[in-house]
A = this chain, B = another copy of it.
Amino acid sequence: MFEQKIKELGIEVPEAPKPLAAYIPVIRTGNLVLTAGQLPMQDGELKYKGKTGFDVTTDQAQEAAKMCALNCLSVIKSEIGSLDLIKRIVKLAVFVNSADGFTDQPKVANGASEFIVQIFGDSGKHVRAAVGVNELPIDAAVEIEMIVEV
């Protein structure tokens, strides 16, 4: 059903990145699956870089957030096999690389939240924390962690 919906939306879930040395991109504990922080990477390349409100616009940061969310789904799929096994999306933690004075983190985070709800419907309604930070790994514009229930 969710896999079908993703297909209908013309979305392709990318291959999950190879597990890194010291940490892994996804873990299951009980009925919860937690992802590592995901960046707006596509085909191994960072697509959105710098501070929202200075280097990237809010619109671009929303796209970045959507890309992070898709990468979260990608690593979750690599762990559980099919996204159809997701019972519900529990939580998104959204860190926005923010220029001084940028306070529209919720708008940025909506890029991820609306994408998730588009796919998962009522099962996609999650809690969320969106905060601004002054720096992110490799100067990514956004970083997102996801928790889902299976």
Contacts and interface: CB of A to CB of B under 8 A. Distances in A.
Contacts of A131: 37, 95, 133, 135-137, 143
Which one of A22, A32, A93, A130 has the greatest number of beta carbons of chain B within 10 Å?
A22
Given A105-B137, A139-B103, A22 B127 contact: no
Tell me which of A32, A95, A103, A116 has the highest count of chain B C-beta atoms within 10 A of its own C-beta. Answer: A103
B137 A134 contact: no
Contact of A37 (B31, B32, B114, B130): B130
Interface residues of A, number: 55
A133 B32 CA distance: 27
Contacts of A130: 37, 137
Interface in A37-65: 37
Contacts of A137: 103-106, 130-132
Contact of A23 (B100, B104, B128): B128
Number of copies: 3
A85 interface: no
Contact of A128 (B37, B102, B103): B37
A21 B103 contact: no
A115 B93 CA distance: 25
A138 to B, nearest CB: 5
A105 B30 contact: no
A147 to B, nearest CB: 8
